[in-house]
Amino acid sequence: MESTTIKKLYREHESFEDKQVKLSGWIRTLRSSKSFGFIELNDGTFFKNAQIVFDEALSNFKEIEKLPISTSITVEGKVVLTPNAKQPFEIKADNIIVEGTSSSDYPLQKKKHSFEYLRTIAHLRPRSNTFSAVFRVRSLAAFAIHKFFQERGFVYVNSPIITGSDCEGAGQMFRVTTLDLDNLPRTQDGQIDVKEDFFGKTTSLTVSGQLEAEVFALSFRNVYTFGPTFRAENSNTPRHAAEFWMIEPEIAFAELKDDMELAEDMVKYIINYVMENAPEEMEFFNNFIDNTLFDRLNNVVNSEFGHVTYTEAIEILKKSGQQFEYPVEWGIDLQTEHERYLTEKVFKKPVFVTDYPKKIKAFYMRLNDDNKTVAAMDLLVPGVGEIIGGSQREERLDVLERRIKELGMDVKDYWWYLELRKYGGTKHAGFGLGFERMIMYLTGMSNIRDVIPFPRTPGNAEF
| Number of residues counted as binding a copy of itself (CB under 8 A) | 107
Return the residues of window 192-211 that contact a copy of itself according to CB under 8 A.
Answer: 192, 198-201, 203, 205
Does residue number 409 form part of the binding site for a copy of itself (CB under 8 A)?
no
How many other CB atoms are found less than 10 A from the CB of residue 369? 6
Tell me which of 39, 52, 242, 317 binds a copy of itself, using CB under 8 A: 242
Tell me which of 109, 158, 187, 235 binds a copy of itself, using CB under 8 A: 158
- Bridge partners (DSSP) listed for residue 347: none
Does residue number 426 form part of the binding site for a copy of itself (CB under 8 A)?
yes
Residue 322 DSSP label:
-
- Bridge partners (DSSP) listed for residue 432: 389
Q: At what angle do helices 293-302 and 256-277 cross, to 10 degrees?
A: 140
**Shortest distance, position 175 Cβ to a copy of itself, whole Å:** 5
Return the residues of window 215-234 that contact a copy of itself according to CB under 8 A.
Answer: 215-222, 227-228, 230, 232, 234
Q: Report the C-alpha gap between 188 and 448 in whole angstroms.
A: 46
Task: Report whether 210 contacts 250 (CB < 8 A).
Answer: yes
Question: In terms of CB distance, is 23 or 79 closer to a copy of itself?
Answer: 23
Return the residues of window 342-371 that contact a copy of itself according to CB under 8 A.
Answer: none
Return the residues of window 110-139 that contact a copy of itself according to CB under 8 A.
Answer: 121-124, 126-127, 132, 135-136, 138-139
Site string for a copy of itself, 68-87 (x = CB under 8 A): --xxx-x-------------
Return the residues of window 263-322 that contact a copy of itself according to CB under 8 A.
Answer: none
How far CA 376 is from CA of 168, 251, 394, 440, in Å, comes to 15, 14, 11, 24
Q: Report the C-alpha gap between 383 and 395 in whole angstroms.
A: 35
Q: How many CA atoms lie within 13 A of 312 on its CB side?
A: 12
**Shortest distance, position 262 Cβ to a copy of itself, whole Å:** 14
Name the helix (H) or strand (E) containing 251: strand 243-252
Tell me which of 160, 169, 279, 331 binds a copy of itself, using CB under 8 A: 160
Q: Judged by CB under 8 A, which stretch of 177-185, 260-268, 361-369, 376-384 contacts a copy of itself?
A: 177-185
Question: In terms of CB distance, is 172 or 311 closer to a copy of itself?
Answer: 172
Does residue number 172 form part of the binding site for a copy of itself (CB under 8 A)?
yes
Name the helix (H) or strand (E) containing 315: helix 310-319
Task: Report whether 355 contacts 313 (CB < 8 A).
Answer: no
- Torsions phi, psi of 140, nearest 5? -70, -40
